[in-house]
Chains A and B, each alone.
Chain A
Amino acid sequence: MPDHGWQQPELNDQQLDALLEQSQQRARDAVAESLDLEAGAREIAGRAAGQRLPRYREGKPTVLVVEDDPTLAPLLAEMIGRRFEVVGLAYRGDEALRMVRANPPDVITMDLGLPDTDGLTLTRIITQEHPSSRVVMATARSSHRDLLAGLAAGAVGFLSKPFSMDELNATIEEVARGGFPIAAAIIAASLPTGGHERPVTRLNHLFTPLEKAVLRYLAEDLTVTEIAGRTKLTPGEIIEVQALIVEKINLRNAIENR
């Protein structure tokens, strides 16, 4: 029932309490319907007895979690570990690099601020050395700059705050399958489109070196004129490259969404 706030008289205390109490019971029943409580209880008892989490499916993607917050990192690894195979937890850039070199994971969740380096630099090194390891990063809300910088560094998964763990897991899943969810974020940030679909693009090397350079400069907040100066192109050509980038992403999405 939609909330037609106008004209409707406010609830009084008794009505609100009655509504919440009644709804609480119905909500509990609905949730209980959607749960396998026996399986849940077995999982917990099994873990206490030393068993691993049940495999919801075989061949779960492997994930390396890079996060420097000592309180958050283990929780993050635990939550991601309920759906994927977490193979490592790195608190620093050098740790992360060592882990990736020893055993490249399918997906890396990248923190942007690390004690010894920044996540973008680390992403650049990792994606050059190990193109099969795909990087997911979280950036500030609607920060065009973070997004473009992440893309230029080679990240393919992108979460714009605010997001939920459910969205994080969906992004890891998509990236592990070879998807390119960052494209959706770019379109959302650069074009005034209405929809909120989640387009998938399957090209690792979507952009040419020139396009990547332009992306990087855009990420650094340079103006078209400044980028033109650095790339020895005319401002008009830069605008064309920008349009090409957007067009490529749109084309990919159109193909993927057919």
Chain B
Amino acid sequence: MALSPRRGMADDGSAGFEDWYRREFPGLLLFARRMGAGWQESFDLAQEACAKAYPRWAEIDEPRAYLRVAIRNGYFLLQRWATEELLGEADLLAAPVEGGLRQVEFHDQEVVIMAAIRRLPPQQREVMAWTVDGYRPAEIATMLDKPAGTIRVNLHHARAALKRSLAGLGGDHDA
């Protein structure tokens, strides 16, 4: 598997971590959010995953994927306890201010897209979260140890649902 730690590289220490963190952390947090986590929960999951990876940073081959796997594993473990179901958008408002993440101010378009992804069934939601971050079905399949065909089917359904639910945003390029 592509994500197993490299051997014999531990001496590099954590060189490069901080730059990587500044660049990639927002994406990690958004990944957790698209998976279905609350805002603060997304921050906490991403931050804990980074803290665990940091001491062995030089051994991790593909940190973007490695940390996303760690985040999704943590998220699903917590979900198994708190239920499999997707939460509504109510927790957008409930996010406490303290502890690392201030209220995120999305434009309407981002609110709608985030909500549409989070409304997908869990497996489609996860495949979409990976896809938005640039991963191909074959790569997702390897990381999650699932058949690539399953990933493709989920992606197909997810995209079909988004094409419908985001129809109102067609041709809207107000950026």
Contact = CB atoms under 8 A, between A and B. Distances in A.
B106 to A, nearest CB: 5
Interface residues of B, number: 73
A30 B96 contact: no
A155 to B, nearest CB: 17
A191 interface: no
Contacts of A79: 41, 44-45, 48, 78
DSSP majority for the A interface?
helix
A20 B132 contact: yes
Contacts, number: 209
Interface stretch (A10-18, A117-125, A128-136, A226-234): A10-18
Interface in B49-101: 50-51, 54-55, 74, 77-78, 80-87, 90-91, 94-96, 98-101
B100 A39 contact: yes
Given A34-B103, A35-B26, A166-B91, A27 B171 contact: no
Interface stretch (A68-76, A175-183, A242-250): A68-76
B54 to A, nearest CB: 5
A40 B49 CA distance: 12
A222 B171 CA distance: 59
B11 to A, nearest CB: 15
A26 B109 contact: yes
Interface in A139-167: 141, 159, 161-167
Contacts of B104: 30-31, 33-34
16 contacts: A10-B167, A11-B167, A26-B106, A27-B106, A30-B106, A32-B26, A34-B104, A38-B22, A39-B100, A40-B47, A41-B18, A41-B22, A72-B78, A76-B78, A165-B78, A169-B96
Interface of B: 14, 17-18, 21-22, 25-27, 29-30, 37-41, 43-45, 47-48, 50-51, 54-55, 74, 77-78, 80-87, 90-91, 94-96, 98-110, 112-114, 116, 132-133, 159, 162-173, 175
Given A19-B170, A165-B41, A166-B41, 19 more contacts: A1-B168, A2-B168, A3-B167, A11-B167, A16-B166, A20-B132, A22-B173, A24-B132, A26-B107, A26-B109, A26-B175, A30-B104, A35-B102, A44-B50, A48-B51, A72-B78, A79-B41, A162-B86, A165-B37
Interface of A: 1-5, 8-13, 15-16, 18-20, 22-24, 26-41, 43-45, 47-48, 56-57, 67, 69, 71-72, 75-76, 78-79, 82-83, 138, 141, 159, 161-170, 173, 196
